[in-house]
Amino acid sequence: MFIERRKARRIEKNLLVRYREFDDAKWCDIAQIKDISELGLVIKTDKIFKVNSILHFRIKLPSNPFLWYEFDGRVVECGKYQLRIEIHKIEAVTKNVLHEYIEWYVNKQPPAQK
C-alpha cells in the first residue's frame, strides 16, 4: 500500500502517458495516470523498475490534446501494478501548463458533500 507523501495538490484524473527508461530510445506501452500533481504522479503499469530509476515521460492534457508535454521522473516506489514517480526535471513551460491544468480541474469540481 502506498503512503501519501505529496506536498502539492494532486488530482485523481485518468490521463494517458508514454514512458521509457531515460537512456532507452524505445517507448514502453501507453499507461494510465492514476493521479498527478506538480511534483509527481502515480501510474498504473505492470512494468517493474528499480527505485531511483530515471524515466522519461510524455503526456497529453485535455487542455491541449495535440501537444505532448515531456518531463523526467524518478521512481520513488514500485508496487504491484503501479509506480510512484517524483518529477525530476521539467521545463518551465510544461510545469506552468501542468499547474494551470491542475488548478482548472480542482476549481471546476463541485464542493465535496458533508
CATH number at residue 89: 2.40.10.220
Region of 59 on the Ramachandran plot (φ > 0 left; ψ -120 to 50 alpha; else beta):
beta
Using the 8-state DSSP alphabet, how is residue 48 labeled? -
In a domain, 28, yes or no: yes
What pLDDT digit, counting tens, does each position of 44-75 carry? Answer: 998 889 999 999 999 988 888 889 999 999 99
Q: Which domain holds residue 102?
A: 10-108
The pLDDT value recorded for residue 62 is 87
End-to-end CA distance of the chain: 27
For the chain, percent helix, then strand, then coil, each to nearest 5? Answer: 15, 45, 40
Q: Is residue 1 situated within a structural domain?
A: no
**pLDDT at residue 114 in the model:** 45
Cβ-Cβ contacts under 8 Å for 23 (sequence gap 6 or more): none
Domain count, the chain: 1
pLDDT of residue 24: 74
Give the pLDDT confidence of 71-110 residue by residue, as tens digits. 999 999 998 899 999 998 999 999 999 999 999 888 885 5
| Residue among 22, 27, 86, 23 at smallest CA distance from 56 | 22
- Cell 485523481 sits on residue: 12
